[in-house]
């Protein structure tokens, strides 16, 4: 191994981004820049790299040209819609933190009947089976039939939060679509499609310090 043209005789050396490192005569590549993708997850895929039950995964269905990525949070097997993917684990952890104040927005179709007044009470937070969920904004978009469409906005994103909270109101969610995650929108992205977020937008939304 060579550092700035000199052979190293000890591994105890600090290296900076400005140093040139050669291993077996080949330069060690710089860290990959931070990248982020929008993916329209279809229902029926699990958000994991390997599923013990052998179910199809999100990562098996990504284009072969994609680098190795991880998800920002998850969507469960039956859920669909916007899933953010990144090659930067630190960024994924940062975007998942409730403290960043980013709102996750969903559209839920649920079997049952509910009044807007019942949904308004979710703004105060709710405890379901011993789990405390923070404030949730829920608006009845369309009801009157066997199914109701409800727009749901929340900032915590705990496991199966939307389903469990609506279930506590006597509603059975039979379709759940995430339409946005913070400033990133599902938009017209087709199911199964993936699209990289332009670096300019990343800088605007995350700041230069968050990008590698």
Question: 10 Å Cβ neighbour count for 148?
Answer: 20
Write 60-63 long-range contacts (CB < 8 A, 24+): 61/192, 62/194, 63/194
Residue, of 85 and 13, whose pLDDT is higher: 85
- HSE of 90, CA atoms in CB hemisphere, 13 A: 7
Mean pLDDT along residues 27-35: 72
**25 and 82 in a common domain:** no
**188 and 86 in a common domain:** yes
Residue 134: what pLDDT? 92
- pLDDT classification of 206: cutoffs 50, 70, 90: confident
The helix (H) or strand (E) run that includes residue 165 is helix 161-168
pLDDT per residue as tens digits for the range 141-191: 976 678 899 999 998 878 899 999 999 999 999 999 999 999 999 999 999
Residue 212: what pLDDT? 56
Read off the tokens for 155: 């900032």
**175 and 110 in a common domain:** yes
- pLDDT classification of 18: cutoffs 50, 70, 90: low
Which domain covers residue 194, as residue numbers?
A: 33-97+184-212
Mean pLDDT along residues 64-79: 95
SS3 (DSSP) at 158: coil
Mean pLDDT along residues 61-83: 95
- pLDDT classification of 32: cutoffs 50, 70, 90: confident
CB burial of 85-100 (b: ≥16 within 10 Å; e: otherwise) equals bbbbeebbeebbeeee
**161 and 114 in a common domain:** yes
Residue 122: what pLDDT? 97
**123 and 21 in a common domain:** no
- pLDDT classification of 6: cutoffs 50, 70, 90: low
**38 and 25 in a common domain:** no
Q: Work out how many domains the chain is built from and give that number.
A: 3
Name the nearest CA neighbour of 21 among 45, 33, 5, 41: 5
Give 39's DSSP letter: E
SS3 (DSSP) at 117: helix
**110 and 88 in a common domain:** no
Residue 65: what pLDDT? 92
**147 and 107 in a common domain:** yes
What CATH number does the domain containing 188 carry? 3.30.70.580
pTM of the model: 0.82
**147 and 89 in a common domain:** no
Write 63-69 long-range contacts (CB < 8 A, 24+): 63/194, 66/37, 66/194, 67/32, 67/35, 69/37
Task: Just list the catalytic residues.
Answer: 76
């Amino acid at each position: 191994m060579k550092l700035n043209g000199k052979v190293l005789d000890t591994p105890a050396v600090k290296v900076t981004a400005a140093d040139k490192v050669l291993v077996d005569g080949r330069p060690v590549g710089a860290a990959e820049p931070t990248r982020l993708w929008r993916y329209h997850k279809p229902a029926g895929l699990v958000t994991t790299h390997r599923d013990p039950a052998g179910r199809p995964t999100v990562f098996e269905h990504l284009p072969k040209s994609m680098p190795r990525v991880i998800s920002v949070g998850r969507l469960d097997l039956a859920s669909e819609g916007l899933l953010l993917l990144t090659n930067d684990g630190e960024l994924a952890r940062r975007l998942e933190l409730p403290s960043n104040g980013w709102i996750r927005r969903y559209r839920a179709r649920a079997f049952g009947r509910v009044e807007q007044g019942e949904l308004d009470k979710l703004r105060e937070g709710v405890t379901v089976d011993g789990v405390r969920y923070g404030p949730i904004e829920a608006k009845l978009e369309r009801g009157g039939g066997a199914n109701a469409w409800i727009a749901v906005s929340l900032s915590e994103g705990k496991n199966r939060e939307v389903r469990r909270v609506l279930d506590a109101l006597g509603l059975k969610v039979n379709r759940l679509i995430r339409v946005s995650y913070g400033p990133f929108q599902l938009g017209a992205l087709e199911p199964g499609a993936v699209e990289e977020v332009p670096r300019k937008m990343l800088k605007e939304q995350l700041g230069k310090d968050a990008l590698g």
